[in-house]
Amino acid sequence: MILTTPTDEFDFLFDPDKVSRFLRTLRASRKTRVGKPEIWSAFTATYPDLPQGPDRRHCLMKLLRELEECEEVRLPVSHGKRWDRSSSVPTPTSIEVRDNRQRQSKAWRDYPWHPRLQWILDRNHLSDRQFRFLKNVQQGLVAGWFETLAPLKYRSLQLTGDEKQLLSLCKTRLFGTGRLTLSMLGCDPEILPMVIEHVSEEPDLLIFENAAPFVLARKVLLDISDPPVGRIAYGSGNQVGRSIEYLQLLGSPTRHIFYVGDLDLRGIYIAAKLNRHCEATGLPRIRPATILHRQMLASAERLGAPQGWPDQARPTSAAGDWIFAFLEPEVCRRIRAIVDSRHRVPEETLNEPDLRRCFEDWCKE
């Protein structure tokens, strides 16, 4: 009813019959505002095989976001009170449902679309905002706008009048295989700068998740005579996935990239996801800085917390065995036991003598 033929991992969510059934169930009450029980009842009836947990909530939000973009529903403001935040994936406690009797214009069906936009005719619905955006894309294809690369936010202003809207649109099903891509729109990849410090001529790079250990390591590495790495970087937590490609803009090549972060579910997930990203973009794979992991575990024991400290963060929906494959086997089992017990060992367990000893031993390995 609403979407093009699905092509990604959420294909099953966007089967036209299922989407129509979900909307019909929501509208059955004839209420403009539908509450949490009705939302989940409609979703469970439409997708009965989904397991309980964060992934199920993620699927609901994927569907609702797309329906909002198509102007079938309206979600509450993201910072408002009408959200259930008891899980790592917040879901609305109520939504506004558009009256099915309010028919939208179908003018887009008769529009003379460019050959690269013929997929639009396979859709059963297009919101007015989407129609305006796609007409601008058509104009760009005809006029050759996309033959020259432009920053993402410039292209967003050009096509939508809002420098942030294109980033939002590219998360919808207007984009995907056989539809729009940022490459097709001539968007220059937006790479976040990375803080990098040159400490020697060695070709290896060491990335720290957090700022304080990075600053301390810089001090130690500049003070010792034979640093084991040539550069160190500050990854800034999850931002490292957006900044790692900055390395390709540097003049000198990088042989190996080592990474150290907090030994908790979030920190290990960041490293594992970064490794996958590097493999996909042609960068060297991410290697665990195991010598520092060993020292973090030893430091935690020295500080009276051999099993780490309680982890107060909400668990990520990305939890899974695959993320622990990033760690070396010699430390993986112990770290896994700490994480599984909802404990953690932060990077800040490393003090200056610890780092000095680690870097000196690194050179001997």
206-257 pLDDT, tens digit per residue, is 999 999 999 999 999 999 989 999 999 999 988 898 888 888 888 778 899 9
Task: Report the alpha-carbon distance of residue 232 to residue 362 in Å, rounded.
Answer: 15
| Count of CA atoms in the C-beta half-sphere (13 A) of 348 | 5
Give the chain's largest Cα–Cα span: 76
Task: Report the alpha-carbon distance of residue 133 to residue 218 in Å, rounded.
Answer: 48
Helix (H) / strand (E) element for 44: namely: helix 36-46
| 78 compared with 318, residue with greater pLDDT | 78
Task: Report the alpha-carbon distance of residue 297 to residue 119 in Å, rounded.
Answer: 55
**Strands (DSSP E) along 199-241, which ranges?**
205-208, 231-234
Q: For residue 318, count other CB atoms closer than 10 A to its CB.
A: 17
Banded pLDDT at 1 (limits 50, 70, 90)? very low
User: Rounded to the nearest 10 degrees, how much is the dihedral formed by the CA atoms of 74, 105, 8, 158?
Assistant: -90
- pLDDT given at position 224: 93
Q: Describe the crossing of helices 36-46 and 54-69 by its angle, rounded to 10 degrees.
A: 100
Task: Report the alpha-carbon distance of residue 334 to residue 324 in Å, rounded.
Answer: 11
The SS3 call for residue 356 is helix
| 124 compared with 23, residue with greater pLDDT | 23
Task: Report the alpha-carbon distance of residue 39 to residue 94 in Å, rounded.
Answer: 8
**Mean pLDDT computed over 276-298:** 91
Which structure tokens are listed for 321? 């065995």
Banded pLDDT at 5 (limits 50, 70, 90)? very low
User: Which of 323, 328, 305 lies closest to 266 in space, CA to CA?
Assistant: 323
Whether residue 279 has pLDDT greater than 90:
no
Strand-pair partners of 344? 309
Banded pLDDT at 199 (limits 50, 70, 90)? very high
Whether residue 120 has pLDDT greater than 70:
yes
- pLDDT given at position 7: 41
- pLDDT given at position 85: 86
Pairing state between β 231-234 and 205-208:
parallel
- Contact criterion met (CB below 8 Å) for 163 and 153: yes
Task: Report the alpha-carbon distance of residue 108 to residue 174 in Å, rounded.
Answer: 14
Whether residue 2 has pLDDT greater than 50:
no
**Mean pLDDT computed over 279-307:** 93
**What is the sign of the dihedral through the CA atoms of 181, 187, 192 and 196?**
positive
Banded pLDDT at 268 (limits 50, 70, 90)? very high
- pLDDT given at position 218: 96
Q: Which residues have C-beta within 8 Å of that of residue 118, sequence separation ≥ 6?
A: none
User: Which of 29, 58, 32, 53 lies closest to 41 in space, CA to CA?
Assistant: 29
Banded pLDDT at 122 (limits 50, 70, 90)? confident
The SS3 call for residue 215 is helix
pLDDT tens digits, 19-72: 888 988 998 878 889 999 999 999 999 998 887 877 888 889 989 988 888 888
Banded pLDDT at 4 (limits 50, 70, 90)? very low
**Mean pLDDT computed over 255-283:** 90
Banded pLDDT at 3 (limits 50, 70, 90)? very low
- pLDDT given at position 281: 77
| 125 compared with 143, residue with greater pLDDT | 143
Average pLDDT value over all residues in the chain:
87
Angstrom distances, CA of residue 111 to CA of 61, 87, 90 = 31, 44, 39
* 340 CB-contact burial (10 Å; exposed 0-12 / middle 13-18 / buried 19+): exposed
Q: What percent of the chain has pLDDT over 90?
A: 53
**Does the predicted TM-score (pTM) go above 0.85?**
no
Q: Which of 60-69, 119-128, 276-285 has the highest mean pLDDT?
A: 60-69
| 185 compared with 105, residue with greater pLDDT | 185
Can you spell out the DSSP letters for 124-177? Answer: S---HHHHHHHHHHHHHHHHTGGGS-EEHHHHHHHHHSSTTHHHHHTTSTTBST
